[in-house]
Amino acid sequence: MKILIINPGSTTTKIAVFENKNLVFEHKIDHAQDLDFQEKFSKPGNVLDQFEHRAKDIEEILKEKNITQLDAVVGRGGMIPPVVSGTYQINEKMIDDLTNRPLANHASNLGAPLAKKIAKDFGIENKAFIVDPVTTDEIEAKHKITGIPEVKRYAGWHALNQKAVCREYAASIGKKYEDLNLIVAHIGGGASFGAHKKGKTINVTNALAGEGPMSPERSGQIPAQGLVELCFSNKYTKEEILYKILGGGGLFALLGTKDLKDLEIKYPTLDKEKKDVVDEMFAGFSRYICSLIPDFEGEQIDQILLTGGVVRWPLVVDSIKKDLAALNIGITVYPGEFELEALRDGAIRVLSGEEKAKEY
């Protein structure tokens, strides 16, 4: 089985081809280095405006790698209405919802349309899938309550990677995911935090709705009154405010960069004001890990798992471990993400007959 994986992020499109579980090749298209892309899409706008540009980039790589046959194409699931965990066949209803009614404007919304197009190009349109989309929802109903009756919390998190590292950790200690209580922090351009109780993620800190700490490109949770005043200041459009929250906030707004590798090099020489910004971001990660402890209702938490691209920076991990030392809970680190493998495995389960693809 030859499977193409497409994982669009805010500044990259990661693709990989697997022959069963064996990697044929992996490639990261870096849109931050594409001047044409930056000229067209650096300003606030609908992420689906990038569809044709990203599709062309993918097609060029596949041609360069001489990929002439595929058995399935899997895209990262986007901001569709809440669904149960699983592998879904991409249909027109899904594309329509992502185009006209997405829950948020996020790069993951491109996953299904791109997978559908490439699958059609290869004559396997009915073998286009998504797996565990961002809106995979296992949150207990009580955790969706807010102090404003008209506003409910919803799931928007790194479901693929969080569940992948949970299963990896469980296997490493000879146990099942369903036997453990775990807190997972996925820290990348955006950050999501999950309370995984015996195989179900009963609560998550939403990476897309303005919850959680600030991150390289997210504002994080900010004082509601200040946000309301900003919205009614007549200085910004709705789209510009949303961009401040999702994509143009955090370190990017405060320090003018999303490049953590560069920031890691420069950190020792930063002045106090800039260091305070970075240190406060680190402390925010620790605070939101702690915020999930009550969701276990007194049960023992077996481990805290740190994952995502940002935890490649040793200072981030050291800061969190220092902050949380008093909890006396072990911390295991899985730098980067395992989303490509999780998408691959979801397709394999369907193609092999182990699971039936869910209908959206």
pLDDT in tens, 127-155: 999 999 988 999 999 999 999 999 999 88
* Residues 25 and 57 occupy one common structural domain: yes
Q: Is residue 143 part of a domain?
A: no
**What's the mean pLDDT in 110-121?**
97
* Residues 9 and 132 occupy one common structural domain: yes
* Residues 124 and 243 occupy one common structural domain: no
CA-based nearest residue to 41, from 57, 60, 63: 57
CB 317 within 8 A of CB 290: no
The yes-or-no verdict on residue 44 having pLDDT over 80 is no
CA distance 134 to 76: 8
* Residues 133 and 250 occupy one common structural domain: no
In this structure, the dihedral spanned by the alpha carbons of residues 104, 218, 220 and 46, taken in order and rounded to 10 degrees, is -20
The yes-or-no verdict on residue 32 having pLDDT over 80 is no
The yes-or-no verdict on residue 104 having pLDDT over 80 is yes
Please return the burial class of 291, using the count of CB atoms within 10 Å of its CB with bins 0-12, 13-18 and 19+. middle
Q: Which residue has the higher pLDDT, 241 or 31?
A: 241
* Residues 328 and 286 occupy one common structural domain: yes
Q: Is residue 261 part of a domain?
A: yes
The 3-state DSSP class for residue 104 equals: coil
Whole domain around residue 241: which residue ranges? 159-335
Indicate whether this model's pTM tops 0.75. yes
Note the pLDDT of residue 85.
83
The 3-state DSSP class for residue 157 equals: coil
